[in-house]
Structure 1
Amino acid sequence: MHPQGEAMASREDELAGGLGTIARALFTAGTVEETLVRIVHTARDTIDACDYAGLSLVAGPRVTTQLATDPVVAEVDAAQYDTGEGPCLAVITEGLDSLYADDLREDTRWPAFGPRAVAAGLRSLLAFRLFANDTLGALNLYARLPRAYGATDRAAGLIFAAHAGIALAAAQDRAQEARRAERLAGGLISREVIGQAQGILMEREGITAGQAFDVLCRASQHLNLKLRTVAQDLVDTGVRPEVGPDA
């Protein structure tokens, strides 16, 4: 094999082995924030030609930069959002897996964005769509040099982005499940506290559960406090809540 071919094959083998380790690291990151940090910094460190990396997420109709390895990334990302054009937005809105601008000074696809990126000192941009079932955002790899990314870098980036998208979706699902569990636990606690407060009123005043609940509701409205707060105060202090002049 030609020495150049051997070097490329060696680099591909190295990347393949490294990406397996990277994939495991991404999936064990934990929270969404930790996953974002690992994606951005690992991408920059894995793709040799990359000088700066950033991650943009879809938030309803908007796209925002969630994390960047350097302030220049946020500046250039903002130029894409301001002009409504650029590789990052293109992969998100057009559903492309990746898009490569090998020289933003010469690229005519983004006449408003390109000059602003060049003015910030960036010449190459490699954008990858992050997705699982839906598009989550884009991973943007910036380089100061033109034509910075070779075929191996682009292939490695595509594999990395696939792992990153799935890892990010998994982290978001875990966060959503944690919030759901927290709401459920909060609801159970609220019902328990309200039930305790009802029991106190029923025992003291010889009223029904419905009447006790009505007392708590009127107190909540009169005091402008949440029903759970009124109930918790009664349980903690034993003091009947004020229900207003109409009680």
Structure 2
Amino acid sequence: MAGNGVSGPVARDPKDLDDPDWAKDRMDFVADRDSALGPLAQQFVVLTTSLLTTHTAAGVLQELAMAAVRFLPGADMVSVTLRDADGRLHTPVSTDPLAVRLDEVQCESGRGPCATAVAPSGPAYSLSNDLASDNQWPEFAKASLDVGFHAVLSTAMMRDPQPPELSGAINVYSRRRRAFNAHDRDVMLLLASHGSLALATSRAITSAQLQAEHLHKAIDSRDVIGQAKGILMQRRKISADEAFDVLRETSQSLNVKLSELAETLAGRHLEID
């Protein structure tokens, strides 16, 4: 509105975009925007970039474990535990062997923060800030206290809807009582969501790579079988179907894969009568 004393942004002519002053203004704006992000937001930006460039499940899990150590001041060690479709727990990634041992205690007893969080009907997270006075998981609490850990926060990752429908949890252990607060819980819920999406993406990439590899192998096999059929058709003056029957019967009698037999014939047909 005119006369209010406030001037709006001035649009630049596209011809001015190469102007050095315009380039400097743009860089200053980007720098100001980035500096406005809080430290945690900046860490999540870095994490997201890392996850987007990580194409293996193992790499994603390792990134999540290291991020939890960075994000939570009370974190002394971290593990990532997966639950198979049949209910078995295993820990492929940890920052300390003790974390694996404590996860194994939960697997053996069937009780613990991680076992609770990854259960099909389990909560989004499971927390104990004082295992010495907490009676939720007696076997796990004793094992944790024996090695000096007094608090634990396990946060569930979203179940993968694709087979084998794995679920998992990020487990953060602390040697201090009351090490985790509501902010830590929210950070871990956000981290688990990021991790779930990245894990699903990495599995999709792996699946696509395997399918592409199988497709290439199938195409190669079809091509070499076609070559072998052509050789037999030319030498024996038989039809394509008859040539394929010869290959199939020979494959069965020699107990050799049809594609391998065809490859041998195509590669050494000058030596074979």
TM-score, normalization by structure 1: 0.86
Give the partner amino acid of 1:101: S
Gaps of 5+ in 2: 1-36
**216-225 vs 226-235, which moves further:** 216-225
Give the partner amino acid of 2:89: V
Cα deviation, residue 132, structure 1:
5.7
Give the partner amino acid of 1:49: G
Whether 2:42 is the aligned partner of 1:17: answer yes
Whether 2:178 is the aligned partner of 1:147: answer yes
2:207 match: 176
Aligned with residue 75 of structure 2, among 35, 50, 66: 50
Aligned with residue 193 of structure 2, among 137, 162, 179: 162
**How much is the aligned-residue C-alpha RMSD, in angstroms?**
1.9
Cα deviation, residue 88, structure 1:
0.8
Cα deviation, residue 192, structure 1:
1.0
Determine the C-alpha separation between the residues in 2 that align with 1:76 and 1:130: 19
Determine the C-alpha separation between the residues in 2 that align with 1:240 and 1:63: 55
Determine the C-alpha separation between the residues in 2 that align with 1:240 and 1:218: 17
Determine the C-alpha separation between the residues in 1 that align with 2:74 and 2:146: 20
Determine the C-alpha separation between the residues in 2 that align with 1:26 and 1:132: 18
Give the partner amino acid of 2:190: I
Q: Percent identity?
A: 33
Whether 2:70 is the aligned partner of 1:39: answer no
Aligned with residue 136 of structure 2, among 93, 96, 109: 109
Whichever of the two has the greater Rg, that structure is 2
- Tell me if the contact between 1:132 and 1:166 (Cα under 8 Å) persists in the aligned partners: no
Determine the C-alpha separation between the residues in 1 that align with 2:44 and 2:111: 31
Cα deviation, residue 54, structure 1:
1.0
Determine the C-alpha separation between the residues in 2 that align with 1:113 and 1:36: 23
- CA gap of 1:121–1:224, structure 2 versus 1, over 3 A, is farther
TM-score, normalization by structure 2: 0.78
- CA gap of 1:122–1:222, structure 2 versus 1, over 3 A, is farther
The C-alpha deviation readout for 1:167-198, integer Å capped at 9, x for no partner, is 11111111111111111111111111111111
**197-206 vs 135-144, which moves further:** 135-144
- Tell me if the contact between 2:159 and 2:168 (Cα under 8 Å) persists in the aligned partners: no
Aligned with residue 70 of structure 1, among 85, 91, 96: 96
Whether 2:260 is the aligned partner of 1:236: answer no
Count residues in correspondence.
230
